């Protein structure tokens, strides 16, 4: 059975078409990104969607109810399918959610944590580097310990641009080329923003590692995903892995 999976963030949507052969055996047929912006209004959508005729669509959306409705309407129009949107639950697949009000946790964060646990049930720090950067702590025994939300690289750059007179720096061609102290404004910003995110990641990781050591468990894993995940991971000096599809991997666990 072919399934279309969609991860709608605040900047873009990521999608992949998979073949589910049962018993965790999936094959990715094709993948892509949509947007930035209202891709559901575009005249043409990826040709692969029609070509591989998915029988189901499952999605994660953190861009609000109006966007969910627009996605539903367009996909129903183009594929004749209803979209199954993932929801956060107090417990799923052996993971217990830390939020007092589970409906407030971003479903992308939840899916990434579920997928991290499914890959390996040991403690982990899950870092999703998109519009916002989210850090979620997964403790022993599938206990989600909560997390952090900080602005993403683009958001921080735009905040400086909008609210200062003299720190108006355009996005660089390469997201991160150095963390060295800047000797002009562009360098100071382009090196400073990733330094700030990595500082948060490494502190959160070390705190979790400390907790694991106290509990007598092994060092936690560190997983990166999101549009800037690969770039940040390369400059992170804790052992880590990049799992591009972590959020979409979680969809099979909430909507099997």
d(CA 108, CA 5): 13
Q: Does 11 interact with ligand ADP (rule: CB under 6 A)?
A: yes
Of 48 and 196, nearer to ligand PAZ (C-beta) is: 196
Q: Does 104 interact with ligand PAZ (rule: CB under 6 A)?
A: yes
Q: Is 165 a catalytic residue?
A: no
Q: Does 102 interact with ligand ADP (rule: CB under 6 A)?
A: no
Q: Confirm whether residue 245 is marked as ligand binding.
A: no
Binding piece for ligand ADP, criterion CB under 6 A, among 67-75, 93-101, 188-196, 223-231: 223-231
Q: Which of 108, 228, 245, 249 binds ligand PAZ (CB under 6 A)?
A: 108
d(CA 108, CA 61): 7
Taken in order 148, 95, 226, 74, the sign of the CA dihedral is negative
Q: Does 10 interact with ligand PAZ (rule: CB under 6 A)?
A: yes
Q: Confirm whether residue 106 is marked as ligand binding.
A: yes
Q: Which of 4, 6, 95, 105 binds ligand PAZ (CB under 6 A)?
A: 105
Neighbour-count burial of 50, counting CB atoms closer than 10 A to its CB (0-12 exposed, 13-18 middle, 19+ buried): exposed
Q: What angle do CA 103, 106, 111 make, to 5 degrees?
A: 105
In this structure, what token pair is assigned to residue 172? Answer: 């660089």
Given a contact cutoff of 8 angstroms between Cβ atoms, the answer to whether 146 and 137 are in contact is yes
Q: Does 153 interact with ligand ADP (rule: CB under 6 A)?
A: yes
In this structure, what token pair is assigned to residue 8? Answer: 């709608």
Find all residues with CB under 8 Å of 159, minimum gap 6, and list them. 151
Q: Does 139 interact with ligand PAZ (rule: CB under 6 A)?
A: no
Residue 153 contact, options ligand PAZ, ligand ADP, K ion, none, Cβ 5-8 Å cut-off depending on partner type:
ligand ADP
Give least dist CB 201 to K ion, A.
13
Residues acting as catalytic residues? 108
Q: Which residues are annotated as a binding site for ATP?
A: 7-14, 131
């Amino acid at each position: 059975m072919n399934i279309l999976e969609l991860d709608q963030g605040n900047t873009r949507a990521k999608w992949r078409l998979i073949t589910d052969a049962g018993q965790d055996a999936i094959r990715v047929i094709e993948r892509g990104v949509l947007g930035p912006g209202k891709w559901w209004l575009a005249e043409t959508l990826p040709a692969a969607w029609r070509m591989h005729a998915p029988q189901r669509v499952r999605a994660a959306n953190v861009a609000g109810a109006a966007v969910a409705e627009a996605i539903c309407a367009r996909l129903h129009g183009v594929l004749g399918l209803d979209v199954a949107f993932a929801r956060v639950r107090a417990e799923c697949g052996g993971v217990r959610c830390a939020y007092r009000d589970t409906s407030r946790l971003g479903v992308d964060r939840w899916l990434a944590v579920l997928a991290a646990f499914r890959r390996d049930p040991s403690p982990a720090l899950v870092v999703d580097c998109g519009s916002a950067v989210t850090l979620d702590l997964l403790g022993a025994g599938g206990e989600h310990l909560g997390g952090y939300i900080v602005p993403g690289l683009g958001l921080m750059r735009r905040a400086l641009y909008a609210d200062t007179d003299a720190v108006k720096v355009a996005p660089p061609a390469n997201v991160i080329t150095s963390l060295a102290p800047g000797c002009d404004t562009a360098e100071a910003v382009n090196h400073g923003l990733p330094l700030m995110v990595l500082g948060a990641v490494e502190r959160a990781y070390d705190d979790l590692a400390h907790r694991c050591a106290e509990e007598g468990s092994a060092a936690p894993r560190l997983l990166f995903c999101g549009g800037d995940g690969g770039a940040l991971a390369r400059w992170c000096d804790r052992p880590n892995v990049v799992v591009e599809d972590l959020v979409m991997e979680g969809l099979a666990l909430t909507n099997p």
